[in-house]
Structure 1
Amino acid sequence: MDKVSHSAAAAVGDIGDGASLAVGGFGLSGVPGTLIAALLARGTGGLHVVSNNCGVDGSGLGTLLAARRVTRVTGSYIGENKEFARQYLAGELEVELVPQGTLAERLRAGGCGIPAFFTPAGVGTQVAEGGLPRRYGADPELSPAKEIRDFGGLDHVLETAITTDFALVRAARGDRLGNLVFSRAARNFNPLAAMAGRITIAEVEELVEPGELDPDAVHLPGVFVQRVVPLTPAQAADKAIEKRTVRTRGPEAAARNRTVDA
């Protein structure tokens, strides 16, 4: 049951052209950058990516976009990636925009074997009524209308589950059996993406032996994970900051902090 792959290149070696990928991360937090870099180096193209966003220019999934390896994206947010927006508006990329909570639940449903569910999110908008551009151009492709049903006097829209050929995720700790622990904000879309993939590949910052993880601390059980890639110390420390902000702390702020600490 040892699921360890000793290189990212070997772990992604069977991801072929046209594959669908669920990819963890939110912005640049919890993004499986080493696996993405290995996939970029492999030259795989025609990918359908399912992720909250598609990285930023020059980082994360943004590197695959810039290399024209992605043909379709299912996600919630475009704004931080200028190349993503450019390709979408130029009709070069198909995009399915999904409300963020709905995307999370569609991934979770796929992992749980639930084919579809009803949600009030998106009712009364183009999400439910159709007409969102999936591809721009002279003959644009628009999203279809979805089934609406009344529950308790409120309209709900039918959303289908998402499953993918592969999933790429990043965890803080993992054991050889694939049990994973995520750190803070990295526990965002990573567990859900991992559940949706038929073959899930996890890069882990710290690899431990079976039994070292407290069962109550495991965020994702190994049944959902097929391959584990231990990162080098340099790879584990490579965590980009999407927006760095600093401010001057005046004497009033310092005094407030001393009061709180006391």
Structure 2
Amino acid sequence: MDKVHTSSAEAIGDILAGASIAVGGFGLVGVPVTLIRALRDHGVGDLEVISNNCGVDDWGLGELLSTGQITRMIASYVGENHEFARRYLGGELELEFAPQGTLAERMRCGGAGIPGFYTASGVGTVVADGGLPWRYDSRGNVIVESPAKETRKFDHFGRGLTYVLEEAIVPDFSLVRAAKGDRHGNLVFEKAERSFSPVVATCGRTTIAEVEELVEPGEIDPDEVDVPGIYVHRVIAQTAEVRNELPIEKLRTRPRTAA
């Protein structure tokens, strides 16, 4: 039952080239940077990564972008990551955009054993009709487009509305960062960490968690557990140095006015 690994390299050591990996975090919050750096040093490539975003230049998933280890992303937006945009538009990276809520629900369904669901999000757009650019060549020509998805009308709310079928996501691995975890893998997330990390933690075939605070079994109130340990296979303790990395904080100053 003790799922704690002393080394992050050991925890991710069986991730091979070509693996699909869901990664928790929302913007720059709750990003499992220890595991990401271990994966970077592991050196495997041709990775498909599923995450709300891809970090920023040279931090978080941006560290795997800079080494060319990611060849395909499923994400909601590019954000402030200029390297992400450059690789996508330059034909070095395939990108499947997904509406943010749809992406979260695809992962939730993956963890719940539900193969797919119908949603109104994207109906009447390229998300449902197909034609969304997934990959460009080096000259900016679209060479891979999203396919059309199945749609169906439901008499929902007494109206005949059209919905699009979205398939669940079940990656080979999931990497998450939690505020607290015990040796059995029970996890507690805080604030914005709860937006994507719980569904990421449940959808992977193998889930690896780094925790800011590692406690003994029984020290977490059962009512506080966001993801039970049955979903989590490996745990590592995060260092204080990593906990204090706060790239979301940006220093802004102005000249002091005279008294």
| CA pair 235-220 structure 1, distance change in 2 beyond 3 A | same
Deviation of 1:79 after TM superposition, in Å, equals 3.0
Partner of 2:179: 172
Deviation of 1:240 after TM superposition, in Å, equals 2.2
Give the Cα–Cα distance (whole angstroms) in 1 for the partners of residues 249 and 134 of structure 2: 27
Partner of 1:145: 148
3-state DSSP of counterpart to 2:54: coil
Partner of 1:82: 82
TM-score using structure 1 length: 0.91
Give the Cα–Cα distance (whole angstroms) in 1 for the partners of residues 251 and 166 of structure 2: 36
**What is the one-letter code of the residue matched to 1:150?**
K
Partner of 2:25: 25
Instruction: Tell me, yes or no, if the aligned pair for 1:27 and 1:242 is still in contact at 8 Å.
Output: no
Give the Cα–Cα distance (whole angstroms) in 2 for the partners of residues 144 and 246 of structure 1: 49
Partner of 1:194: 201
Q: Of 223, 231, 240, which aligns to 2:238?
A: 231
Partner of 1:60: 60
Q: Of 226, 229, 232, which aligns to 1:222?
A: 229
| CA pair 169-245 structure 1, distance change in 2 beyond 3 A | farther
Partner of 2:70: 70
**What is the one-letter code of the residue matched to 2:190?**
S
3-state DSSP of counterpart to 2:63: helix
Deviation of 1:241 after TM superposition, in Å, equals 1.2
3-state DSSP of counterpart to 1:109: helix
Q: Which stretch has the larger CA shift, 154-163 or 76-85? A: 76-85
- Counting matched residue pairs gives 248
What is the root-mean-square deviation in Å for CA atoms of aligned residues? 1.5
Deviation of 1:235 after TM superposition, in Å, equals 2.2
How big is each residue's C-alpha offset from its partner over 1:120-170, in whole Å with a ceiling of 9 and x where there is no partner? 000010000000011012561000001111112111000000000000000
Give the Cα–Cα distance (whole angstroms) in 2 for the partners of residues 225 and 140 of structure 1: 38
3-state DSSP of counterpart to 1:164: coil
Give the Cα–Cα distance (whole angstroms) in 2 for the partners of residues 239 and 174 of structure 1: 21
| CA pair 208-148 structure 1, distance change in 2 beyond 3 A | same
Instruction: Tell me, yes or no, if the aligned pair for 2:133 and 2:142 is still in contact at 8 Å.
Output: no
Partner of 1:94: 94
**Richer in helix (by share):** 1
